[in-house]
C-alpha cells in the first residue's frame, strides 16, 4: 500500500511480456462491483486521482497505465499500441487481480476499449461510463490529437507546462492557475525538475494521419456501441467537445434510451470527471449497477 497517496502499486505482465502498472484503490475484497478506469490515448492512471478517493470507499477502483504510458513498459513494437491489444491487457489485469466483473470508466481511447470489451467480453462488464467518446469521432477533434501526439513539448519548467495547457485547451474554462498546474502534473512526468512527455512517442505511428482523417476514412462504430445494450450505461460529454458532437450524443441517446446522458459545462475534450454533474452521473450509474446486482 502506498499509504501517502492512498493506493496500492500493482505490477503485472502482459501476454507479450511487458511489465504493466496500475494504481489499486479501496477494499480488495467484500466491496461492491469494482471499477476499472481506462485513460485517454496519452493519459495515464493519474488522470483518475481526482475521483478515485471519492468512489473507492466501498469498492475497489483500479486505474492502469496502458502499455507505453506512465509507469508501464514501452512496447517492443509500436504496432501493439492498438485498442484491441489494450483491451487484452485490461482483461489480463482483471484476471491478475481476480476481478471477474467490473464497471469500466473509459475516457476517450479508454471508452473505445470499453466498447470493444462489450463486443468480446460482455460477461466481464457490470456497467460502462464513457467519458467524451462515442461511435462517431469528429475530424476536428482527431486533427487536434494529431497536432500534439508524439511531439515532445520541451518545457523549461512546470509553469510553462501549465501555461501551455491553458492556452491549448481552449474548451476548458473556469480553472484557477493552481488547477492548471495540477493538470500538468497529472499529464507529464518529472525529469530533473522539468516536465516531460509521459508516454512513448511511438504512439503517433499507429494513429491516423491528417490526410487519412481529412479523407473521411475513419469508420463509424455504431455496431460496437450497440454491443453495450443491456449493460447499465452512462455517457458524459464536454459541452465544448470537438470529438463527440452534439448530434452524435443525441443519436446515442436515441439508440440507448436508458443511457444516463450528461453534458459538463465549461469542458472540452475531456471532462476531468470531478465536476459536480459528472460525479452525480457516475454515482447514479453505480447505483444502477448495485441495484441490478443486489
Q: E strands along 182-276, which residues?
A: 189-191, 194-196, 233-238, 260-264
Show the cell assigned to 109: 481511447
155-193 pLDDT, tens digit each: 999 999 999 999 999 899 999 999 999 999 999 999 999
Residue ranges of the domains in the chain? Answer: 8-138+220-293
Alpha-carbon 39 to chain mean position:
2
Is the preceding omega at residue 55 within 30 degrees of 0, hence cis?
Answer: no
3-state secondary structure of 261: strand
Q: What is the pLDDT along the chain (294 residues), one digit of tens a residue?
A: 444 478 999 999 999 999 999 999 999 988 899 999 999 999 999 999 999 999 999 999 999 999 999 999 999 999 999 999 999 999 999 999 999 999 999 999 999 999 999 999 999 999 999 999 999 999 999 999 999 999 988 999 999 999 999 999 989 999 999 999 999 999 999 999 999 999 999 999 999 999 999 999 999 999 999 999 999 999 999 999 999 999 999 999 999 999 999 999 999 999 999 999 999 999 999 999 999 887
pTM of the model: 0.96
Pairwise CA distance, residues 271 & 105, whole Å: 12
pLDDT tens digits along 66-113: 999 999 999 999 999 999 999 999 999 999 999 999 999 999 999 999
Query: How far is it, in rounded angstroms, from Cα 256 to Cα 291?
Result: 19
CA distance 235 to 246: 12
CA 142 – CA 146 distance, rounded (Å)? 6
Query: How is residue 10 written as a grid cell?
Result: 500493482
Distance CA 210, CA 115 (A): 25
| Spatial distance between the Cα atoms of 53 and 119, rounded to a whole number of angstroms | 30
Give dist(CA 112, CA 231) in Å, integer: 16
Question: Among all chains, which residue has been given the C-alpha cell 502534473?
Answer: 185
8-138+220-293: what fold?
Answer: Rossmann fold (3.40.50)
Is residue 45 within 8 A of residue 63, CB to CB? The reply is yes
Q: What is the Rg, in whole angstroms, of the alpha carbon atoms belonging to the chain?
A: 18
Stated as kind and residue range, the H or E segment containing 36 is strand 32-38
Categorise residue 171: left if φ over 0, alpha if ψ from -120 to 50, beta otherwise.
alpha
DSSP state of 21: E
Amino acid at each position: 500500500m502506498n499509504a501517502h497517496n492512498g493506493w496500492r502499486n500493482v505490477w503485472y505482465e502482459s501476454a507479450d511480456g511487458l511489465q504493466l502498472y496500475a494504481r489499486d484503490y479501496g477494499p480488495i475484497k467484500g466491496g461492491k462491483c469494482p471499477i476499472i478506469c481506462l485513460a485517454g490515448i496519452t493519459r495515464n492512471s493519474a488522470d483518475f486521482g481526482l475521483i478515485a478517493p471519492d468512489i473507492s470507499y466501498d469498492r475497489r477502483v483500479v486505474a492502469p497505465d496502458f502499455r507505453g504510458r506512465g509507469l508501464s513498459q514501452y512496447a517492443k513494437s509500436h504496432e501493439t499500441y492498438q485498442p484491441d491489444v489494450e483491451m487484452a491487457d485490461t482483461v489480463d489485469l482483471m484476471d491478475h487481480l481476480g476481478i471477474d466483473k467490473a464497471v469500466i470508466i473509459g475516457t476517450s481511447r479508454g471508452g473505445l476499449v470499453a466498447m470493444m470489451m462489450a463486443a468480446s467480453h460482455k460477461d466481464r462488464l457490470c456497467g460502462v461510463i464513457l467519458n467524451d467518446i462515442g461511435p462517431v469521432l469528429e475530424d476536428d477533434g482527431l486533427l487536434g490529437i494529431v497536432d500534439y501526439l508524439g511531439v515532445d513539448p520541451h518545457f523549461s519548467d512546470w509553469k510553462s507546462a501549465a501555461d501551455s495547457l491553458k492556452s491549448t485547451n481552449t474548451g476548458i474554462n473556469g480553472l484557477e492557475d493552481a488547477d492548471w498546474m495540477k493538470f500538468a502534473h497529472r499529464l507529464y512526468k518529472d525529469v530533473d525538475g522539468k516536465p516531460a512527455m509521459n508516454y512513448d512517442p511511438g504512439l503517433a505511428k499507429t494513429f491516423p494521419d491528417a490526410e487519412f482523417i481529412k479523407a473521411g476514412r475513419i469508420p463509424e462504430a455504431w455496431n460496437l456501441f450497440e454491443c453495450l445494450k443491456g449493460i447499465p450505461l452512462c455517457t458524459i460529454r464536454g459541452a465544448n467537445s470537438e470529438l463527440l458532437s452534439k448530434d452524435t450524443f443525441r443519436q446515442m441517446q436515441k439508440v440507448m434510451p436508458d443511457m444516463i446522458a450528461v453534458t459538463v459545462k465549461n469542458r472540452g475534450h475531456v471532462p476531468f470527471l470531478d465536476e459536480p454533474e459528472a460525479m452525480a452521473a457516475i454515482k447514479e450509474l453505480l447505483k444502477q449497477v448495485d441495484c441490478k446486482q443486489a
